[in-house]
Amino acid sequence: MQMEHRTRPHILLITMDELRKDALSCYGNKAVATPHLDRLAEESIRFEKAYSVSPWCLPSRCAILTGLLPHESGAYSNFRKCELSAEIPNLFGILRDHGYRTTVFGKCHFSPVPYSSTRPDTTLPYDEFKDYYMSLGIDHLDLQDDKQVSVWFYDDYAKELDQAGYLEAYRKQVWSEKANGKVFAFPGPAEWHPDHWVGRKSAAYLEAYSEDRPLFAWVSFSGPHFPFDAHESYFDRVDMAKDATRNCKPGEFDDKARIHHESYYGPGGIEGSGAAADRACKNHSESYWQSLRRSYYANVALIDDQIGTIIHAARRKFGDNLLVIFTADHGEMLGNHGLWGKNNCAYEDVLNVPLLVQYPGESQGSVTNEQVMLTDIMATCLKAAGLKHEEMKGRDFKESGRNGGYDYVFAEGEGFSSVSNGRFKYIHLQKNNKLQYELFDLQQDPCEFHNLAGNPAYAGELAELRGRLLQLFMSQVLS
What value does the mean pLDDT take over residues 446-472? 97
Q: What is the pLDDT of residue 2?
A: 41
pLDDT averaged over every residue in the chain:
96
Whether the domain at 1-406 and the domain at 415-478 fall into the same CATH topology: no
Chain-centroid distance, C-alpha 379: 18
Q: Flag whether the pTM goes above 0.85.
A: yes
Pick from 403, 361, 353: nearest CA to 377:
353
What value does the mean pLDDT take over residues 247-251? 98
**Beta carbons of 13 and 381 less than 8 angstroms apart:** yes
Beta bridge partners of 416: 413, 429
Higher pLDDT, 195 or 401: 195
Tens-digit pLDDT profile for residues 291-318? 999 999 999 999 999 999 999 999 999 9
Tens-digit pLDDT profile for residues 325-377? 999 999 999 999 999 999 999 999 999 999 999 999 999 999 999 999 999 99
> Does residue 201 have a pLDDT over 70?
yes
Task: Measure Cα distances from 129 to 145, 185, 195 in Å.
Answer: 10, 28, 20
**Beta carbons of 63 and 53 less than 8 angstroms apart:** yes
> Does residue 1 have a pLDDT over 60?
no
Greatest Cα pair distance in the chain: 64
Percentage of the chain modeled with pLDDT above 70? 98
**Beta carbons of 57 and 50 less than 8 angstroms apart:** no
**Beta carbons of 160 and 167 less than 8 angstroms apart:** no
Q: What are the sequence ranges of the domains in the chain?
A: 1-406, 415-478
What value does the mean pLDDT take over residues 155-181? 97
> Does residue 75 have a pLDDT over 80?
yes
- Positions of E strands within 72-174: 101-106, 140-143
DSSP-assigned letter for residue 432: T
What value does the mean pLDDT take over residues 179-204? 98
- Positions of E strands within 329-442: 352-358, 366-368, 372-373, 409-413, 416-420, 424-431, 434-441
> Does residue 6 have a pLDDT over 60?
no
pLDDT band at 389 (very low <50, low <70, confident <90, very high): confident
Q: What is the pLDDT of residue 478?
A: 64
Pick from 28, 60, 56, 144: nearest CA to 332:
56
Q: What is the pLDDT of residue 433?
A: 87
Beta bridge partners of 219: 14, 105
Q: What is the pLDDT of residue 476?
A: 78
For domain 1-406, the CATH class is alpha beta
Pick the CATH number of 415-478 from 2.60.40.10, 1.10.3720.10, 3.30.1120.10, 3.30.360.10: 3.30.1120.10
Q: What is the pLDDT of residue 479?
A: 58
**Beta carbons of 280 and 320 less than 8 angstroms apart:** no
DSSP-assigned letter for residue 319: T
> Does residue 258 have a pLDDT over 60?
yes
Give dist(CA 85, CA 67) in Å, integer. Answer: 14
Signed CA dihedral, 134, 137, 138, 139: sign only: positive
Q: Is 268 exposed, middle or buried (0-12, 13-18, 19+ CB in 10 A)?
A: buried
